[in-house]
Amino acid sequence: MELVVTLITNPEQANLTQQHVDCIQAALNDAGSMPASPSWLAESIACDITFEGDDIPSFRKLMQGEVWDLGIDSVVQPITNRRKRLLLADMDSTIVTGETLDELAGIAGLKDRVAAITERAMRGEIDFKAALRERVAILKGLPATALDKTLEITELTSGARQLVQTMRTNDAHTVLVSGGFKFFTSAIGKKVGFHEDRSNEMIIKNGILTGTVGDPILDRDAKLDALNSISSAKEIPIEETMATGDGANDLPMILAAGLGIAFHAKPVVEEKAPAAIRHGDLTALLYIQGYRREEFKE
């Protein structure tokens, strides 16, 4: 089977060198995998090396062991169906840098209390639905204007817009799918350029948060259902799909997608995901698909 390993570093660091590439080629030679000459996707940032192999998990561990501690990510995958036609992305701590519900709680002086529950839920230590209801209940009585204030301070993750706009330009369908709330996903989805967004509904009455969430709650199972239903409706084979996120509720869709990527993820997600980006920004998801820097759209 023809495989490709993509080496990627954070664009702000741009510290990928020919020495790193030579190291990977040597490791592949030692494994009897006949690596080809490297193909640079972006100077000092991303490079492809194709090779022959069958045991993808073993090669992934080998590559990560060689470069992760050097601040470099590596992703191993088959060369076929590399460019994806469907992207599903989590929002909090993936497309945006923080957790919107935690930041909303911060306006009420309750961030530490809510963030502690968020952290446990994202690590898979407690039930997501119960954790969501508990966190929202803490915010009962908060004025809805706090949502606007939270949105104002919400920052996009570096590379978010480039990822979505580049894939859209190349005829991929893009979906923001979040266990967070429609107020945020609608605004962030439009700002980044997603075709659609799916999330939860926070109940507001008379301009005040009621502390309740609309049913049904979009959780890990709903994210997986979204992947399967959208790929079916769009007639996109599952192997031509990509899913990314950071939390335990993202894991089912990450495992089911053609290529699932743990992005700056919790340990349980990074450990189980087929691919992981620990150092790079969201443009890493373009390099993984073989896009060159000059092909990126803003």
For residue 264, give the nearest of 38, 93, 129 by alpha carbon: 93
Which H helix or E strand runs over 120?
Answer: helix 111-122
For residue 246, give the nearest of 133, 121, 132, 150 by alpha carbon: 121
From its phi and psi, is residue 48 left (phi > 0), alpha (psi between -120 and 50) or beta? Answer: beta
> The tokens of 125 are what?
């230590």
Read off the amino acid at residue 106.
G
The 8-class DSSP code of residue 102 comes to H
In DSSP terms, 242 is beta-bridged to 87, 259
Answer for the pair 3, 253: CB distance below 8 angstroms, yes or no. Answer: no
> The tokens of 70 are what?
């050097």
CA distance 205 to 167: 39
- Per the omega criterion (within 30 degrees of 0), is the bond before 216 cis? yes
Catalytic residues: 90, 92
CA distance 177 to 12: 28
Count of CB atoms within 10 A of residue 69's CB?
8
For residue 20, give the nearest of 30, 7, 33, 10 by alpha carbon: 7
